[in-house]
């Protein structure tokens, strides 16, 4: 039973100044009296660098008291992931935290951003930055660092639901954690609002989910089938439970999961209501929720984020919302593009973050999670991971704390391809392999419209795309040149395979950066 508040007193300096313990006690007691909080006793931290033993004890006993009164906000741990675990436990138990010196209280999910903003301001102040150095458009959404480089983008873009778009925001590489991300200008937010207001998932196949290959030459499979198989193989999923699919679109994952686990309760959440009726009609779906994860009722054993994280401007806060919806031992399934294996992801207008494995690890660590399982090859060009809430404080492995060569190479490849395509196929009618992001981007950068789109997915045969016929490889005219719009290593493999299977047409693979520079 709760019975008042414990006070947390530090023997260490707070923001560089040592306040005597008896003064700290007076400040805490005065705060408790002014706010009519029953004060029980104080806990004094040991004078040891990085020691939070007494704080951990106080947090561990939150189920026995109403909350904790800190002398100062800045007596919280300097590690964001550790702070977020304290926030999470406080909210789970329905308790509160108070910070006497700043006259602040933490009582709900919305208070997290307010407190974390104060830590960010403190970080910038200690870094010696001036007010003019702070530009919210360029700050890293993972670590709050400033960019080591910024690249102006000259090529046009593609939306994540695969429609041409006239511009792409500048690309930044964080000097702190190495994250590749877009400059979030007012124009970028306006573009995103328009894109999501008219979103059409898988419109090239009239709503049928995209089919992908596990590896070159393997059979085509719906992405959701591979993801559900991965979760089933990595987790001991019970016969019944609760799944929350965040960003559910038209319900592709929910439909596949329902077929495998018919006794599970399924909830779909999406900002757009365009697929709401389709989702509600899926067997096992209890509810469709228009909004974000915080709007979904209850807690869940499994939460899926399929092509969601890359859209989120503040992924740390977003993952905190997800954490609040997990049952004890719950798991998060993540599927996100890998720009290192698919540079065309940089052209997706509404993808604000572009992850490497290192920056994906750094994000999960800072948000209070750990990687339980990971595959870079389950779905080509994508990161697939299972996350669980961290049981301890994980430290950075340091691999991400530099500007990755892959980020610079990916940006350079698209910049050069945008000028190479019209030169290579000048005055030439060609086919383009694919009807996805890369093919749409290539189509927009050619001087003349392609004669055909060529696709290996049967769901897309015979359905015109962008006013252009879509044909199977077997139906390509023998005298046609087909540009294989895929990342260079994959494009070479695909071109070689198709040349053997269909030797008539000329299959031209997307060149590598080295080939473009020679």
Q: pLDDT for 251-283, tens place per residue?
A: 999 999 999 999 999 999 998 888 899 999 999
DSSP 153-219: --S-EE-TTS-EES----EEEETTT--EEE---HHHHHHHHHHHHT--TTGGGTTPPPEEESSTTSP
Per-residue pLDDT reduced to its tens digit, 13-71: 555 456 777 788 888 888 988 888 888 777 776 655 566 777 888 888 888 888 998 88
Residue 412 lies in a domain: no
The greatest distance separating any two alpha carbons of the chain, rounded to the nearest whole angstrom, comes to 88
Judgement on whether residues 234 and 346 belong to the same structural domain of the protein: yes
Judgement on whether residues 347 and 235 belong to the same structural domain of the protein: yes
Residue 360 lies in a domain: yes
C-alpha 290: how far from its chain's center? Answer: 19
Q: What is the 3-state secondary structure (H, E, C) of 349-370?
A: CCCCEEECHHHHHHHHHHCCEE
DSSP 206-274: TTPPPEEESSTTSPEEEHHHHHHHHHHHHS---SS-EEEEET-TTTHHHHHHHHH-TTSEEEEEES--T
Judgement on whether residues 191 and 267 belong to the same structural domain of the protein: no
Between CA 307 and CA 263 the distance in angstroms is: 25
Residue 457 lies in a domain: yes
Residue 91 lies in a domain: yes
Whether the per-residue pLDDT at 397 is higher than 70: the answer is: no
Strand pairing category for 452-454 and 470-471: parallel
Q: Grade residue 400 by pLDDT with cuts at 50, 70 and 90.
A: very low
Whether the per-residue pLDDT at 467 is higher than 60: the answer is: yes
Provide the pLDDT for residue 146.
Answer: 87
Judgement on whether residues 107 and 146 belong to the same structural domain of the protein: no
Identify the domain boundary among 85, 103, 125.
125
Judgement on whether residues 277 and 381 belong to the same structural domain of the protein: yes
> Contact 55/45 with Cβ under 8 angstroms?
yes
Q: If you average pLDDT over residues 348-370, what whole number do you get?
A: 94
CATH number at residue 15: 3.40.50.1390
> Contact 452/471 with Cβ under 8 angstroms?
yes
Query: Which DSSP state fits 445?
Result: T
> Contact 5/58 with Cβ under 8 angstroms?
no
Number of H helices, E strands in the chain: 14, 25
Identify the domain boundary among 160, 176, 197.
197
Judgement on whether residues 476 and 398 belong to the same structural domain of the protein: no
Strand pairing category for 171-174 and 326-337: unpaired
Judgement on whether residues 238 and 272 belong to the same structural domain of the protein: yes
> Contact 502/473 with Cβ under 8 angstroms?
yes
Judgement on whether residues 215 and 323 belong to the same structural domain of the protein: yes
Residue 417 lies in a domain: no
Judgement on whether residues 104 and 172 belong to the same structural domain of the protein: no
- Residue 159 sits at φ, ψ, to 5 deg, of -80, 165
CATH number at residue 321: 3.40.50.150
State how many domains the chain has. Answer: 4
Judgement on whether residues 253 and 342 belong to the same structural domain of the protein: yes
Judgement on whether residues 180 and 304 belong to the same structural domain of the protein: no
Provide the pLDDT for residue 99.
Answer: 92
CATH number at residue 477: 3.40.50.720
Between CA 421 and CA 375 the distance in angstroms is: 33
| pTM attached to this predicted model | 0.76
Per-residue pLDDT reduced to its tens digit, 468-492: 999 999 999 999 999 999 999 999 9
Q: List the domain range (segments joined by +) for residue 72.
A: 5-125
For 148, what's the count of Cα atoms within 13 Å in the CB-facing half-sphere?
15
Hey, what are 162's tokens?
């695969």
The CB density around residue 396, as the number of other CB atoms within 10 Å, is 16
Hey, what are 105's tokens?
């209280």
Judgement on whether residues 290 and 381 belong to the same structural domain of the protein: yes
């Amino acid at each position: 039973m709760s019975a008042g508040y414990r006070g947390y007193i530090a023997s260490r300096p707070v923001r560089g100044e040592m306040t005597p313990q008896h003064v700290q006690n007076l400040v805490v007691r005065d705060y408790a009296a002014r706010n009519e909080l029953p004060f029980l006793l104080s806990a004094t931290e040991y004078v040891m660098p990085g020691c939070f033993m007494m704080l951990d004890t106080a947090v561990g006993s939150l189920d026995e008291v109403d909350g904790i009164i800190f002398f100062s906000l800045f007596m919280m741990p300097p590690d964001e992931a550790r702070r977020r675990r304290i926030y999470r436990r406080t909210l789970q138990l329905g308790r509160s935290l108070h910070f006497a010196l700043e006259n602040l209280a933490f009582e709900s999910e919305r208070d997290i951003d307010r407190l974390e903003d104060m830590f960010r301001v403190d970080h910038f102040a200690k870094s010696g930055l001036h007010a003019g150095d702070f530009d919210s458009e360029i700050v890293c959404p993972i670590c709050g660092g400033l960019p080591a480089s910024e690249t102006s983008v000259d090529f046009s873009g593609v939306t994540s639901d695969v429609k041409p778009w006239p511009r792409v925001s500048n690309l930044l590489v964080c000097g702190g954690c190495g994250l590749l991300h877009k400059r979030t200008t007012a124009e970028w937010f306006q573009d995103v609002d328009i894109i999501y207001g008219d979103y059409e998932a898988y419109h090239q196949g009239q709503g049928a989910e995209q089919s992908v290959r596990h590896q070159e030459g393997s059979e085509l499979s719906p992405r959701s089938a591979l993801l559900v198989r991965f979760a089933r193989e990595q987790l001991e999923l019970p016969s019944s439970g609760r799944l929350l699919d965040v960003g559910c679109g038209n319900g592709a994952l929910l439909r596949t999961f329902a077929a495998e686990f018919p006794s599970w309760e399924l909830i779909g959440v999406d900002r757009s209501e365009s697929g709401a009726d389709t989702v509600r009609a899926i067997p096992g779906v209890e509810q469709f929720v228009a909004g974000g994860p915080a709007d979904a009722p209850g807690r869940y054993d499994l939460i899926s984020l399929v092509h969601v994280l890359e859209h989120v401007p503040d992924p740390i806060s977003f993952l905190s919302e997800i954490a609040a919806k997990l049952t004890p031992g719950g798991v998060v399934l993540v599927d996100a593009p890998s720009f290192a294996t698919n540079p065309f992801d940089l052209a997706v207008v509404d993808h604000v973050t572009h992850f490497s494995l290192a920056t994906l690890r750094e994000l999960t660590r800072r948000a209070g999670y750990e990687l339980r399982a990971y595959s870079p090859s389950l779905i080509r060009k994508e990161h697939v991971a299972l996350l669980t809430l961290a049981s301890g404080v994980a430290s950075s492995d340091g691999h991400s704390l530099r500007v990755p060569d892959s980020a610079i190479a990916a940006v350079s490849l698209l910049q050069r391809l945008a000028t190479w395509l019209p030169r290579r196929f000048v005055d030439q009618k060609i086919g383009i392999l694919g009807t996805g992001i890369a093919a749409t981007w290539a189509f927009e950068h050619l001087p003349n419209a392609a004669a055909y789109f060529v696709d290996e997915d049967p769901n897309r045969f015979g359905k015109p795309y962008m006013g252009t016929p879509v044909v199977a490889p077997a139906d390509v005219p023998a005298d046609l040149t087909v540009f294989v719009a895929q990342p260079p290593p994959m494009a070479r493999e695909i071109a070689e395979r198709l040349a053997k299977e269909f030797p008539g047409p000329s299959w031209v693979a997307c060149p590598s950066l080295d080939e473009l520079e020679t």
